[in-house]
Structure 1
Amino acid sequence: MNLPYQADLPTHLLAACFNKTSATYKFYWFLAVLGHVEQGESQLSKQALFADMLAHAWYTVNYFHVSFGKQDKLQQAIEQVRITEHLTIDAELGHISTTLRQTSHPHTRKALRYFDSEVPHRFLSPWFRAEDKRLAYAFSQSFTGECLYALYADHIVINPAWAAYLQRNARVLKDFCYWNLALYLQGRNPNVPDIPNKLIKAPVRKSLTEQRKKFWDIVIGELGSVDCIYTNTRLWPGRYAVEHFIPYAFVSHDLIWNLIPADPAFNSVKSDKLPWLDRYFEPFYQLQQQAVAIIYDKLPKSRFLEEYLTIIPDLSATRQLFSAADKQRYREQLQPLITIAANNGFEYLPR
């Protein structure tokens, strides 16, 4: 992915800002800078930018539990600030930013100040030797090499030569930044699925209406009722929740092989907790067995049957998931996902 070209600007140096990154700081710093420049600002408070860095990374860390690496202080700062400032894991970006900009809590202010020694001057390294902080400040204030901004003690000033370019191309520049961030995080989370969709909070989660009406309503209607695998509560048509066996916050998809009917009250309590396979796999798998057999009989061309193909390559040959090999494949699909999710900070259900 290339940046928009402009003859009088060293856009290749801006693209090089994300080369050889060892932490997430530069990505979130640039997203914060772009957000303010889009609003027509040219003198940007460092405190506001550091607050926005945490706000942009908030959902990825707190909801999706994506690892930034053990040495990345941004993730540590978010975990600390969430407790100190009494912020929820699903707080809105604007609320987080405002809270952190206005905070008077010494621990939060210290956590934000840490990034002043890490990212504002180092981001300019493609333009000049930025490891020397004192020289970086001096060079930037004369816009050496048409660098992006000038550095000062508590703020930065956007180079006027870049302002229009940044505003005009903000959408493409954000996509470029997120693309590089996704590559960076995928390298540190090689077994975590769908990293790109875990970088921002989706405005609205997709409903599971279709999975309910065109799959589980048919299954439960045929059986008359089923038992919730978690509570043994009897579930009837229209009186159940469709829930993700492995949390959506980890798998980031609504594929039918991970969805089951459940007690609505328990579903809200379960939230993003992980199921214990030694306790829940057998009833989960039996319910999936029944579902596949019924849907194959009633709606053999259902698109939902195709969603099992990632586990069972030839579903037409088995139709009911009755073979020991099918059961083994299913468990082998779930086990590593649950293990990785647990390693990334997702909690298990109480025993």
Structure 2
Amino acid sequence: MAAGWQLSEGRMSYKSASDDEYFAAVTKALSNQSSKTTSYKFGFLRAILENLYQNDAELKLNYSQLAHSMAKLYWNLVIEYEYQQGHRSQIVSILTNFKNTYGIPSKVSYDVINPLTQAALEKEITNKILKKYVVGALFEDTNKILYSFSKKEGLIRFSDASLHFLRKYQTTIFKLTTYELTKYIQIQNPLVDHQILIESIENITKRSSLLQFQKELIQLTGAKCFYTETHLHSSKRSIAVDHFIPWSFIHSDDLWNLVLTSQSLNSKKGSKLPDKNFLNKLHSRNVLLKQSEDIHVRLAFEGYHFQIVRDLYQYADVNGFEIGWKA
């Protein structure tokens, strides 16, 4: 019988399990019970968590979505922060060769790389890392209950129950995954302070600048605060781009989740969830933006549905984020 990483496809053992069974499966994959000579399983599980609201109506995620998260994580670990990944790590070879081939300077964040160049790297990671090792290995290590997969179709698929579990306990699983990834990286980089390491890994996929989104939103909606409707004085650099659903929960920068506010109000809001009354206001704004004549804006809203926002709001509340903030 083939090992998990050798499988070309895998079907979930059953479509529903208890929270305890799902937790046992995730814990097993993160623990010493499963073989880990690389950090790929941690990186892949983290990529799944970062894309929990990007799946389609059939609960599918394609490899390109997951590869983008993996590429960003490992590029920033290896190239920007220069953390060692262990002896003869293939991901290090891929990233280093790619950096040299395209003449990309050291210590450059993934976000500043040309999107076409990113796509080329993500394709290589899909073929040489995801398909070859990781997808099947994590499938087996999670007792075949977290997702199904097909290497030929290039996708993984959740059940209603497994997706609900991952969303319900997203913050807890993210912290567990970050902790185990940090432990692994610490072994390879013993001179790096543990607290610095864990903080950098927690935020390593966070966009370094939201300035482009700020300019885009000002053009689309005007320089006014989403929460108070007051005019924002852009000349004073007082404008902030706020994640309506906190970044620390969603771990992505989606235009439909970004609003303009002032720097001071953004600091007061922090990681709180706005009052529910703002949900309909956000949706109304997004409906208008979805009809924009700008092709890039329309593409950004291609997979947008109000149900996604409502689900995120509900699950962020379940995960312990303070709810009901008002300006």
Smaller-chain TM-score bracket? 0.3 to 0.5
User: Which has the bigger relative contact order, CA under 8 A and spacing at least 6?
Assistant: 2
Q: Which has the larger radius of gyration?
A: 1
Give TM-score, length-normalised by structure 1: 0.45
**TM-score scaled by length of structure 2:** 0.48
